[in-house]
Structure 1
Amino acid sequence: MNTNYANNGLYAPAPPQQQVEQPQFISPAQLFQQPLAPSLLSHLSQNTPSGRTLSNPASYNSSRMAPLTPANTQPDMTQLLVSLAEEYFQAAQELAPAAALSMTVADVEAYEGLIATGLGCLDTALKRIKLQPRMEANIRLRFAGVLFEETENSMEAETALSKGIALCERNHYYDLKYAMQFLLAQFMAKKNPKASMKALDGHISDAQTYQHFSWVYVFRFLRASHALESGSLTDHHAAVQNLRAVANLAKQQNDNAIHLTASLMEALAFLKIPGPESLQHVQTALAQARSYQHDESCNIPQLIGLTHILDVSCAIIKGNSVEMLTKLKDMQNMMDKALHENTWGTTNDTFAIPINRTPKSSHTVSQDTRMILGIGNDGGDNLMMTFLGKKDAYSITYLLCGMVLLHKNSSDQKGLKYLQAGLDSLEGDIRSARSSSGLLPDLVSKRQWRGEISCYFRIYMAFCCAGLANWTETKRYIDDLRTTVRKFEVSLTGPLASLALYLDGIYHQGIGDFDTALQIFGDPKLSLTTAKSTALTSADQVERDIAILATLNSLWIVQDKGLQNPDRNLSVKEKLEPVCVNHPNPDIRMAFHLVGATVPTNPPLELIEIKSRLRSALACGNTTANIHQMCICLSIMCNRFFNGVIGPQAEKSAKAASVQATRSGNTLWMSVTDGMLARCYEVQGKTQDAQASMASAQKYADQALPGV
């Protein structure tokens, strides 16, 4: 139920007030010394916050307890300890942004000291004071929630929750019992995901039997989340079944917003599995989500934004340029409207999904459970979930815009401009992180997530520059990428590692350092032999696609003089053909056909086969509107069929290649096509035109490879 980049602090207290006095460290044991020192009582009276509610596990405070007694009498120790604990937790949250940025030993230890002292206060209340049953249950839930968010001490937390669940069962506190079961399942998932999912199945069955439908939604969503994290196909199927069960129940209960959420999560689930069938399931789920676009209860900006993001992602996977641009425009319009949505904040990642309240909800949903299920202003239940903050979501949409426009790769470089704007926005948020408080693990996780997204921005910006043969700027972005990886301690694994390595190879190939390029493309991370052949996830598919591209690049490089080997060429092409001919990505199919039409083999290809490959390449290019690949394709056709030919058709072919190269903005291919056009003019006796075209070709060659 949480995003990957932050735990969201489901059990964190309410946002701190604007002015918070830094508390002194006080040992909980001091509170039981008899008699209490007047100075200590005075300090506690001054530093105990007012207006808080301990009964709210998402913002545990103490306003539901009796007010403190005057300083000259014995205070209420329960309220005293809980209030003091909240002071320490709040002070820790105030310190967390600075600690997340510096990560110095002193700052981290100060933060941990505040958290440990707050936990000590709650622990003392549980062990040394006889509490009212509901108060004890609330404190146990708060105690375990802080342990979950801030520590790895699962054993003590599980013990506290187990005792709390037993206490709730004896006293029929169904709301707190469900909340504790939810938290306990999260603890179990850290050590034994299978056990957690089995326990959740039992909770789902119980909640379904008692018709506590709001908690059925909660447990099924959590069950699906844990199943999707496992990565196995069996668990993936179980996740989809749980999400569809949520959708069916929501349809029966007329909970349209829940149905919308389940549909979007199902789309996300199928995006993890590549293939045309999965893509069809994604589109079906999105169609179900869009059916609620006119329902007022489903007018939740976060869910609408996610719908558009998934829509654009689907269009990118399909590779249809017209559909990509249409979906992109819809997403941009929606995000522009979201600027004025106050319900989608820039600092708080939590949002509420409305649920119709049933007669049995009064016993299972309360103010004490609103970190998971709260009560809305209209009296209905609210399921609390997390999504990207508004600015982070904008960063993702900027990245998608850059990726879509990279296909066009026009000389105006719109894609690069979107990527630069998104990166500037993201880095601005990182620099301003000191202004918002929160939990240190969440802030560190969010900062690392932003660092990883910054890496993707820089990779695609480097690809934009490589598309123009601007190797100086390409190198600058590669250096920025390495700096970002070190600064944010980003782990270069998976698709990010493959993209970064492939980009490095592209750069060296572009500057003519073929030996280094071949060495990089031959790295085991870019080897087709190490790619998985069955049960691919979307991440595996990306890594295999990059390996395919690296092999295609290598195959073209080794056609240089002294490296060409027709027998080896044939072997590599036969290895690539099974994974390329029917590849779902038309750009990869086109690249394979272009290589297949130009690389000599033994025996050589027949002319009809070459024409067939070029025809297939053109068809793919028309689908994706990839201007750069279309330029290469037209250049190959001109060189192969019209080199030295006199006639209007030859001149048209050369001019078409030159125009396409100009549209691409790639100076290297502009040099190639103008050179071919100059030779075409020359054989037809158009000396003046030939000289002008050759001068243009030389100028672009100097720009593409200065000094060579």
Structure 2
Amino acid sequence: MPVHVASAPPPIGPKPNTQSNQGQINIHTPQINIHTPQTHPIIKSEPVSSKISPKVEPQKILSTPIATPKRPLPAPSPVTHATPQVMIPAPSPAVQARTQAQTPQKQSQPQHIEKKRQPTQPNVEKHGKPTPAKSTKPPVDYQVLLLSLADEYLNAAHARGTTTSLTARETDIEEYYKLVATGLGCLEAVLKNWRLQPRKEALVRLRYARTLFEETDNDIEAETALSKGIDLCERNRMLDLKYSMQHLLARMLHKSNPKASLKAVDGMIQDVEAYRHAAWEYAFRFLRVSLSLSSPSHQDSVQALQHLHKITAMASRNGDKAVSAMAAVIESLAHLQQATTSDSIEQAQRAVAAARSHQLNDELRHIPQLTTLIQMVDICCSILEYDVNQSGQKLKVMQALMDETLSDSNWRPDGSFSVPLNGKSAGPSSIDTGDILQVHNGTLLLSFNWLPQHDLYALCYFLSSITLSAKNSYDGRKAEKYLEEGLRMVQGNFKAPQEISESMVNANRRVQWRQSLYCNLLLQRVFLACARTDWDLASQTLNDLRQVFQELGSNLPDTIECLMEYAAGTIAQATGDLKAALTIFQSPILSLDPATSKTGRNDPCRDTRILAGLNTVLILRDPGHPSHSMLSAVLATLEPFCQSSPNKYIQAAYFLVCATVHSESTIQTKQYLQQALQSATAISNSQITCMTLTFMSWKYFRGVVGEQAEKSARAGRAMAKRANDRMWASVTDDMLAETLERQGKGEEAQSVREEGQRLVSGLPPRLRRSA
């Protein structure tokens, strides 16, 4: 199939034009559960996914016909055959002089380089007539030939890695692994049949082991190759290649034994620290951080933060500003995702401030990936602090930055980027190994992996939509416009992917990340549609999401399915199908386990189950419901989770639900309503504010004649209009009309009532009141 290169992403600043028709729904739309596909920078040291590709047997290189001679016998060096001596009559002196003048002088060559044969002079007869000479060609250097073939086959396989991963056709996959197996066979033949120079052998072993690790499940063979390579490097004091092999060995070990891998990395850190090889100490400490943060253990998270602090201190001593910024932004992400204390956001913001302190340094100006990451984490901190205005201001800064760096030459197709190291960090062991450490224009660089430019721009559109979600009902649906642009970019990546030369395993991980982002974008569209009561769009988008999930379910995180089922329950409840909604909310995937941690911040499934429980309470609170007796048990399960939750949206919703359920005590009900109103106002949530004001007006001013009753009804109606929620707007219109009639304002009451009836006509049939 023809391969199309994806066009450069459009500037993120300009907004597409659509018209507004906004609103919000039930109180339980998960507005703050920002479960984006992981935005961590993926350090080169990060372990490869445990998904193993089909086993490859590199020894059988005859699976693909190769036009090469049979494998030569092992020999330490090429054999030079002696030229046979031929006795001929001596030529005349004139001919002899002419012959000597035409013979070129021999040039001395290093012994380890085979001498290039010179063209032989024709044999001359007695009378000066040339006789035909036997033509000879230089012998084939099979070692060089096999290494070249290995490069050709592996490069050919990697050139089609992205396409093969997307199409997933069996014939393409088989052809891909034939190329890989043949390339591995060539490398293995060289290692078994030639004695190479030490550094060359080490490089071949490293390439062989890395390919086995990435492409096959032959981990034992890869470990054996690495062990031999490490011994070779130690004998010949090739520290750079030794460290590279140990780095790869630790990542390999992490697949089967994570604890042993962490212990091995700790030992390597002690070695490089003792020898003061700063560049490799950075590499191994970042590896330790990456492996530790991939573990759910709190102890490992604490150790990761300790290593980040040591990196920061060392970078400060060595003057490595970019390394300091990198460590700080990873620390901020760790606080947001791993910490359980209430001050985790404050700690994350301090880390972001430390990273920003280096942002004007020349080293960082040429790393658009790092500056963008700092800005994105800063926005996430403001979102989790529920500061809508501040997050909006930071979003404008990020969009301007993305537009500015759109054509920056430092974007790489594979998503990698490098941070420069100071001369103090470069030592005798810091030689270019081509993967972890690189040398460019005399500067030593430490490499990281993250996202290609196209993927990063799509993620920024998603973050823009989340940031503006709270204002979507009254700012012209900007959140939806950014969301549509993000969907367009991700869909374009599926139809015409940007070709990147990489292994199919890496390509699979990249495709899975894009699929996960695509599902999150669809979920965001569902909830935005629900928020403005566009149930048709919400249902259609949910059906699209279900089709994608059926195709990719095993490759998607559990949070996608959890949010998808919650969205289905929300739509059923909002359209009046309470029986279906209750069945969904009580399904196993949305059932709240009392043993679940109640304080951890980064647990989208737990928070979604809390919301499902709150909606269950709203359904069961009706005394006439068949399952009304379960109400107390559901509330008892929810109470400890809601009261200790760091999520203020959940707290506000919980107080409102309690006010509607525990209505027998006037004092307690007022306390709950006051707490709900304060929480909703603090987080700028129009939906919960509207519902709280409306319930207060109904509870305390129903049937009351007076100015306060009218003010309360008008306040609820204004907030419903702001939220652009048709159902609650129709309710508040009816309440205000009744209040105005009691006040003797019949003409205005009639106008308001007609407006409410018009809104009711657009609601789902089950929600319409009988005339």
Q: Say whether residues 1:573 and 2:639 are aligned partners.
A: no
SS, match of residue 468 in structure 2: helix
Contact 1:498 1:525 in 2 (8 A): yes
Amino acid in structure 1 at the alignment position of 2:450: F
CA deviation after TM superposition for structure 1 residue 404, in Å? 2.2
Structure 2 residue corresponding to 1:694, chosen from 733, 753, 756: 753
CA deviation after TM superposition for structure 1 residue 543, in Å? 1.8
Q: Looking at secondary structure, tell me which structure has more helix per residue.
A: 1
**1:217-256 residue CA offsets vs partner (Å, 9 max, x unmatched):** 0001001111111210111111111111111111111111
SS, match of residue 625 in structure 1: coil
Q: Distance in 1 between matches of 2:215 and 2:733?
A: 63
**1:531-590 residue CA offsets vs partner (Å, 9 max, x unmatched):** 5136x6544x32221111111111111234611888754554344333323532221111
Residues 455-466 of structure 1: pairs in structure 2 closer than 5 A: 455-466=519-530
Q: Distance in 1 between matches of 2:341 and 2:46?
A: 35
SS, match of residue 529 in structure 1: coil
**Which segment is superposed worse, 323-332 or 180-189?**
323-332
Residues 87-486 of structure 1: pairs in structure 2 closer than 5 A: 87-273=152-338, 274-299=340-365, 300-345=367-412, 347-358=413-424, 361=427, 363-367=428-432, 369-377=433-441, 379-411=442-474, 412-433=476-497, 435-486=499-550
SS, match of residue 138 in structure 1: helix
Instruction: Rate the CA distance shift 1:515–1:5 in 2: closer, same or farther, 3 A.
Output: farther
Q: Distance in 1 between matches of 2:215 and 2:760?
A: 58
What does residue 675 of structure 1 align with? 734
What does residue 32 of structure 1 align with? 71
Contact 1:6 1:442 in 2 (8 A): no
Q: Distance in 1 between matches of 2:328 and 2:736?
A: 54
Contact 2:590 2:612 in 1 (8 A): yes
Instruction: Rate the CA distance shift 1:491–1:360 in 2: closer, same or farther, 3 A.
Output: closer
SS, match of residue 272 in structure 1: helix
Amino acid in structure 1 at the alignment position of 2:202: A
Q: Say whether residues 1:608 and 2:667 are aligned partners.
A: yes
Q: Say whether residues 1:638 and 2:690 are aligned partners.
A: no
TM-score (norm. length: structure 1): 0.88
Q: Distance in 2 between matches of 1:527 and 1:640?
A: 32
What does residue 55 of structure 1 align with? none
SS, match of residue 409 in structure 2: coil
Q: Distance in 2 between matches of 1:561 and 1:692?
A: 35
TM-score (norm. length: structure 2): 0.81
Contact 1:267 1:282 in 2 (8 A): yes
Unaligned runs of 5+ in 2: 1-37, 49-61, 74-111, 118-135
Instruction: Rate the CA distance shift 1:317–1:11 in 2: closer, same or farther, 3 A.
Output: closer
CA deviation after TM superposition for structure 1 residue 7, in Å? 8.9
Q: Distance in 1 between matches of 2:323 and 2:511?
A: 30
Contact 2:645 2:651 in 1 (8 A): yes
CA deviation after TM superposition for structure 1 residue 194, in Å? 1.1
Contact 1:531 1:544 in 2 (8 A): no
CA deviation after TM superposition for structure 1 residue 348, in Å? 2.2
Amino acid in structure 1 at the alignment position of 2:346: Q
Q: Distance in 2 between matches of 1:407 and 1:231?
A: 32
Instruction: Rate the CA distance shift 1:87–1:407 in 2: closer, same or farther, 3 A.
Output: same
CA deviation after TM superposition for structure 1 residue 359, in Å? 8.4
**Which segment is superposed worse, 211-220 or 629-638?**
629-638
Instruction: Rate the CA distance shift 1:531–1:322 in 2: closer, same or farther, 3 A.
Output: farther
- With a CA cutoff of 8 Å and minimum separation of 6, indicate the structure with the bigger relative contact order: 2
Structure index of larger Rg: 2
Structure 2 residue corresponding to 1:588, chosen from 624, 642, 650: 650
Q: Distance in 1 between matches of 2:116 and 2:505?
A: 37
Contact 1:318 1:585 in 2 (8 A): no
**Which segment is superposed worse, 667-676 or 216-225?**
667-676
Instruction: Rate the CA distance shift 1:24–1:5 in 2: closer, same or farther, 3 A.
Output: farther
SS, match of residue 450 in structure 1: helix
**1:45-80 residue CA offsets vs partner (Å, 9 max, x unmatched):** xxxxxxxxxxxxxxxxxxxx9899799321222211
Instruction: Rate the CA distance shift 1:360–1:505 in 2: closer, same or farther, 3 A.
Output: closer
CA deviation after TM superposition for structure 1 residue 610, in Å? 1.8
Structure 2 residue corresponding to 1:666, chosen from 721, 725, 732: 725
Q: Distance in 1 between matches of 2:729 and 2:707?
A: 21
SS, match of residue 276 in structure 1: coil
Instruction: Rate the CA distance shift 1:287–1:433 in 2: closer, same or farther, 3 A.
Output: same
Contact 2:733 2:756 in 1 (8 A): yes
Q: Distance in 2 between matches of 1:175 and 1:338?
A: 34
CA deviation after TM superposition for structure 1 residue 314, in Å? 1.5
CA deviation after TM superposition for structure 1 residue 668, in Å? 1.0
**1:646-693 residue CA offsets vs partner (Å, 9 max, x unmatched):** 223222222221121111111111111111112122222322222222
Contact 2:46 2:290 in 1 (8 A): no
* Fraction of identical pairs, as percent: 37
Q: Distance in 2 between matches of 1:354 and 1:481?
A: 43
Contact 1:11 1:371 in 2 (8 A): no
Contact 2:162 2:500 in 1 (8 A): yes
What does residue 685 of structure 1 align with? 744
Instruction: Rate the CA distance shift 1:629–1:69 in 2: closer, same or farther, 3 A.
Output: farther
SS, match of residue 293 in structure 1: coil
CA deviation after TM superposition for structure 1 residue 502, in Å? 0.9
Number of paired residues?
A: 658
Q: Distance in 1 between matches of 2:268 and 2:749?
A: 80
Instruction: Rate the CA distance shift 1:97–1:388 in 2: closer, same or farther, 3 A.
Output: closer
Instruction: Rate the CA distance shift 1:121–1:674 in 2: closer, same or farther, 3 A.
Output: same
Q: Say whether residues 1:655 and 2:731 are aligned partners.
A: no
Q: Distance in 1 between matches of 2:229 and 2:364?
A: 36
Aligned alpha-carbon RMSD (Å): 2.7
CA deviation after TM superposition for structure 1 residue 328, in Å? 2.2
CA deviation after TM superposition for structure 1 residue 427, in Å? 1.4
SS, match of residue 385 in structure 1: strand
Instruction: Rate the CA distance shift 1:275–1:333 in 2: closer, same or farther, 3 A.
Output: farther
Unaligned runs of 5+ in 1: 13-22, 35-64
Q: Distance in 1 between matches of 2:67 and 2:626?
A: 78
Amino acid in structure 2 at the alignment position of 1:413: R
Structure 1 residue corresponding to 2:145, chosen from 68, 80, 87: 80
What does residue 126 of structure 2 align with? none
